[in-house]
Amino acid sequence: MADNLLTMQQINTPSTLSNETVLRVEHLTKIYGERRAVDNLDFEVRRGDIFGFLGPNGAGKTTTVRMIFGLITPTSGSINILGYAMPTHRAQVLPYVGALIETPALYRHLSGRDNLRAIGYGLGGVSEKRMDAVLDLVGLGTRAKDRVRTYSLGMKQRLAIAIALLHDPKLIILDEPANGLDPAGIVEMRDLMHRLSAEGKTVLISSHMLNEVQQICTRVAIVNQGKLITVAAVDELLGGTDVFLVKLERAAEALALVKAQSWGARASLNAQGDLVTPAPNGRGQDLNAFLGRAGFIAAGLAQANQDLEQVFLHLTNSMAGDK
Ligand SMILES: Nc1ncnc2c1ncn2[C@@H]1O[C@H](COP(=O)(O)OP(=O)(O)OP(=O)(O)O)[C@@H](O)[C@H]1O
Ligand SMILES: [Mg+2]
């Protein structure tokens, strides 16, 4: 297989992309019937990124990664991987891309290692050394001889990632790799993402669990209803204005009042029905005083560390406000 591989130099040659751009998506759109599953997306993934592609259920994440991997054809727009247009140059590009999209097919009666061996045959043979390396990388070195049916869900997910890594791709696309995992499984998955990044891989990871991935991602694109809401470095998104979390009765009325103020336009209610809002002058006491003057008594007020979920709510609220 190595003979078929172009060098990085060659693969960058036909490109107008900078050396740092691994994937570029422009005006990407997929329409099913009347539904715009993916609507005019633009974003770029750079070498070494752990790039989060984030959004709630139905946002268009799987549709997008399936287009990027060449499994379905875009209605319009373009995808460029390492300088090559997809899906036109799928054959040239695929040696550089590994993907875990939807539930992987594993042989439950075979060991983890024999699963790799079976897939390896399909790739024209993979060395024992390479299998050892990927099994260690995904943390399955000590369980490689056990049958897959004895594996936890997290172990199966990691084995599937090992399969995606067998041919040593530069770009790895993982669609919801933490789906269904318990907290310990999520921590292991997070560690694996860091190891992949340390190995020099570029990782695109989709997730609806915004707060889970904010800890591992360098940059994120947030999507909702097929549309891009923002693409930015995580630090940049989290470093905005301080927000406060206020517990109070008649929170919906308070929200309406706060949203009418210049400083409160991006306020929202969280899942618990608490008011989450910036404060006048950025000061909690000024917020408390404002609410008090309006007849609201705050039972609790705390500065909330911004997380991506709040950023998402603020951004979607302010977009709705713009209409
Ligand atoms: N093959 C299809 N035919 C028709 N509609 C589709 C098809 N695939 C996806 N859709 C629709 O496109 C939209 C985006 O779906 P998609 O699966 O990409 O979302 P997602 O962000 O991956 O969601 P989830 O978090 O639930 O996995 C949804 O409204 C979905 O119903
Ligand atoms: Mg999906």
* pLDDT tens string 192-207: 999 999 888 999 999 9
For 117, how many CA atoms within 13 A lie in the half-sphere containing its CB?
9
Query: With a 6 A CB cut-off, is 41 part of the ligand 1 pocket?
Result: no
Residue 320: per-residue pLDDT: 57
Provide the residue-wise pLDDT of the chain in tens; the chain has 323 residues: 333 333 333 344 344 445 589 999 999 999 999 999 999 999 999 999 999 999 999 999 999 999 999 999 999 999 999 999 998 999 999 999 999 997 778 999 999 999 999 988 887 888 999 999 999 999 999 999 999 999 998 899 999 999 999 999 999 999 999 888 888 888 888 899 999 998 889 999 999 988 888 888 989 999 999 999 889 888 778 766 678 889 999 999 999 999 999 989 888 888 788 998 989 988 889 999 999 999 999 988 888 767 788 778 777 765 554 44
Q: How far is the CA of 225 from the centre of ligand 1 (A)?
A: 10
Give the alpha-carbon dihedral of 234, 159, 20, 123, to 10 degrees: -160
Query: With a 6 A CB cut-off, is 208 part of the ligand 1 pocket?
Result: yes
Q: How far is the CA of 58 from the centre of ligand 1 (A)?
A: 5
Query: With a 6 A CB cut-off, is 306 part of the ligand 1 pocket?
Result: no
15 within 8 A of 82, measured Cβ to Cβ: yes
Q: Which is it for strands 171-175 and 97-100: parallel, antiparallel or unpaired?
A: parallel
SS3 285: helix
Helices 128-137 and 183-198, packing angle to 10 deg: 130
Query: With a 6 A CB cut-off, is 197 part of the ligand 1 pocket?
Result: no
Residue 219: per-residue pLDDT: 92
62 within 8 A of 207, measured Cβ to Cβ: no
Instruction: Write the residue with the smallest CA distance to atom 26 of ligand 1.
Output: 57
Query: With a 6 A CB cut-off, is 61 part of the ligand 1 pocket?
Result: yes
- Domains detected in the chain: 15-234 (3.40.50.300), 242-305 (3.30.70)
User: Residue 56 CA: which ligand 1 atom is closest?
Assistant: 25
Query: With a 6 A CB cut-off, is 59 part of the ligand 1 pocket?
Result: yes
Query: With a 6 A CB cut-off, is 30 part of the ligand 1 pocket?
Result: no
User: Which of 35, 71, 227 best tests ligand 1's pocket when mutated (most atoms within 8 Å of CB)?
Assistant: 35
User: Which of 30, 31, 32, 229 best tests ligand 1's pocket when mutated (most atoms within 8 Å of CB)?
Assistant: 32
Q: How far is the CA of 37 from the centre of ligand 1 (A)?
A: 6
Q: Is the peptide bond before 87 cis (omega within 30 degrees of 0)?
A: yes
**pLDDT of 284-296, one tens digit each?**
899 999 999 999 9
217 within 8 A of 291, measured Cβ to Cβ: no
